[in-house]
Structure 1
Amino acid sequence: MARILKDPGVGYKSNRNAQRLIINGSSNVKHINRARTIDDLYTYLINISWGLFLAYVLLGYVLINAIFGFVYLLIGVQEFQIVKGSLWEDFIHLFFFSAQTITTVGYGAIAPNGVWAGVISSLEALVGLMSFSFITGLLYGRFSKPKAKIKFSDHIVVRDFEDTRALMFRVMNKRTNMMIEPELNAIMSITEKNETGEFNRAFYQLNLERNKIMYLPTMWTLVHKMDKESPLYKYSKEELEALEVEIYILFQYHEETFNQKLYQLHSYDFSQLKIDYKFDVSYDFDEDGFTIIDHHKLNDIKKI
């Protein structure tokens, strides 16, 4: 008989429209009334996508130069060694002067020629030094931050296995280096309606045939036997297809490149379930006897 776990931190309560808690390795939980600090900014900028990060850098660069260009315009064009033109032309000239000042390039075509112009341009040079130091630190943090590159199969399958049935899914390393002592732990939550009509989650440790190996050079198929100790033992095939189940996965291994242990989260729900299917062979051997791993075959399944 499967033993129900105590709440692992996601709550027993549920409802018919409850979304998955983990999607693509990230939390799908919304936070409200959360206190924010300046420390959150660094964490946010380290974890966002490269496209969004570079967009923020470009936007900040343009905005700062536009602000200083406007300040220089208020001081007066006569404070700079440029020929006065229209308002737009003056602003463009001062915008580019701001860009040269904040980057400490200083081409020399435009130079401050007054006290206030000198004070503001000196202040902008300080802002430039500080902001570029901040961006450099963020770039280093983003490049140096170790990230696990584990790929999980798109589907989980249920098939006859030995003297019972089994639930299976596959993982592989997206890099070519060796994963040392990979270990996978999984918790299954089953959402069902109770006697009062409310939806509650029950949590179970998902016992795997083997959840830790010495190293992973190819793909790894994880197997959960649906025997009498399994929380899925009592369900028929039809009931499994209609069951609301989520599997929370924590994958960890020692990464030799960074010389530290890395972690990756993942989850499955039973919309990804395929019954009476099996995973196809994912590797072969070449003429010289070397093992060939085809990354495109991770998700290959076939009907039994």
Structure 2
Amino acid sequence: MAGGFRQKIRQKNTDSSGFGSSASGRFINKDGLPNVYRKGGNVFNRLSWFHTMLNLSRFRFICYLVIGYIAINIIFALIYYSIGVQHLTGIDKSDPVNEFIDVFFFSSQTFTTVGYGRIAPVGFLASLVATFEAFLGLLAFAIATGLFYGRFSRPRAYLRFSDIAVVSPFQETTALMFRLAPYKNNALTDADVIVSTAIEVIEDGVPKSNFYRLETRLNKISTLALNWTVVHIINEDSPFYGFSEEDFKNIDIEIIVQVRAFDEVFSNTVVQRSSYVTGEIIYGARFVPMYYPNKDNLSTILDLDKINEHQKVEIPAMVVEKGQ
């Protein structure tokens, strides 16, 4: 049976994924970004710091700003200290620790252009460094403001994908399912999903990945208000036709998902991606409903904590044999 479905897979291979058949590892990370590391050329030409800062999590973004702010002030404090504290008026010269603390806070006041006035530079060199630091501070805060605006104004789908995909009984056969749900109060309409899969096969003793488009039972919905369970029926047209539980466990598979929707607030199209690999596909399971009516039965509660909840189900032997 294994040789049979491998032969069938080779005949149905498609090369529209954007990934070569010899690429290694996971193709799309769980955060939706390609699992590709670029090498060669100038590192500054390969890396877009603006995209990097926009794609950081909120916690890491704030941490980088705070660490950068502290590091810059420490560097300038060391410069002022090397010039000599006698070139700064109002410094507490009782001991070196107090001197450096005063110099550090003078640097932060200069960098933010606050300037309380207790400490001031004296002499050309200290004044020159303070002038340059104030100029650098203006540029830094302009950049930080742009980054904050970019992060807040960038249209995003705000979708949460289930961590797992399941293979469940469905209409006298089986189906591969995963689900997603919006976790913000944004309004998404005209949502559509594109699902493809990469399956590793051995050809002439060399492993390679073949890519296939997976047809879904419903590939477009008008409003994405609750969770959406995407269903791919495993029939004769599916590359998984004839797969047993052992095949889903032992063959390297990756399900690549792309969801596109229209955000009414931003009046823009948003896209989000995710993927599922072999270890994230559970054979013989069914998702548990994640929404239910409220107490007075006047509205619906969408419980995002239940997006991964599932229960084991038996796939009848006749259903399995039908796909052999």
Counterparts in 2 of 1:242 and 1:118: CA distance versus 1, 3 Å: closer
1:141 partnered with 2:150: yes
Q: Deviations over 1:165-221 (max 9, x none)?
A: 221111111123332011100111110222x22111111110111111111222211
* Match of residue 138, structure 2, among 123, 129, 132: 129
* Match of residue 299, structure 1, among 304, 308, 314: 308
Deviation larger for 138-147 or 248-257? 138-147
Runs of 5+ consecutive residues of structure 2 not aligned to the other structure: 1-7, 314-324
* Match of residue 68, structure 2, among 57, 60, 75: 60
1:32 partnered with 2:43: no
1:174 partnered with 2:180: no
Counterpart-to-counterpart distance in 1, 2:226 and 2:172: 27
Counterpart-to-counterpart distance in 1, 2:188 and 2:225: 7
Task: Give the letter for the 1:259 counterpart.
Answer: S
Alignment of 1:230-249 (within 5 A): 230-249=238-257
Give 1:60 deviation, angstroms.
2.5
Tell me the residue number matched to 2:29.
23
Counterpart-to-counterpart distance in 2, 1:285 and 1:56: 43
* Match of residue 4, structure 1, among 2, 13, 18: 13
- Equivalences, count: 300
Give 1:48 deviation, angstroms.
1.9
Counterpart-to-counterpart distance in 1, 2:266 and 2:61: 24
Counterparts in 2 of 1:140 and 1:162: CA distance versus 1, 3 Å: same
Tell me the residue number matched to 2:103.
94
TM-score with structure 1 setting the length: 0.89
Task: Give the letter for the 2:146 counterpart.
Answer: G
Counterpart-to-counterpart distance in 1, 2:157 and 2:151: 14
1:212 partnered with 2:217: no
Give 1:72 deviation, angstroms.
2.5
Answer whether contact 2:111 2:137 (CA < 8 A) is retained.
Answer: yes
Counterparts in 2 of 1:90 and 1:198: CA distance versus 1, 3 Å: same
Residue aligned with 1:214, SS: strand
Give 1:12 deviation, angstroms.
0.8
Alignment of 1:193-204 (within 5 A): 193-194=202-203, 196-204=204-212
Counterparts in 2 of 1:288 and 1:117: CA distance versus 1, 3 Å: same
Task: Give the letter for the 2:65 counterpart.
Answer: V
Alignment of 1:175-190 (within 5 A): 175-190=184-199
Answer whether contact 2:187 2:225 (CA < 8 A) is retained.
Answer: yes
Task: Give the letter for the 1:104 counterpart.
Answer: T
Runs of 5+ consecutive residues of structure 1 not aligned to the other structure: none
CA RMSD after TM alignment? 2.3
Give 1:300 deviation, angstroms.
2.2
1:154 partnered with 2:163: yes
Identity of matched residues, %? 34
Counterpart-to-counterpart distance in 2, 1:208 and 1:257: 28
Give 1:101 deviation, angstroms.
1.6
Give 1:85 deviation, angstroms.
4.5
Give 1:231 deviation, angstroms.
0.8
Q: Deviations over 1:17-58 (max 9, x none)?
A: x42122222222222225333772222222222333223222
Counterpart-to-counterpart distance in 2, 1:241 and 1:252: 30
Residue aligned with 2:236, SS: coil
Task: Give the letter for the 1:234 counterpart.
Answer: G
Tell me the residue number matched to 1:165.
174
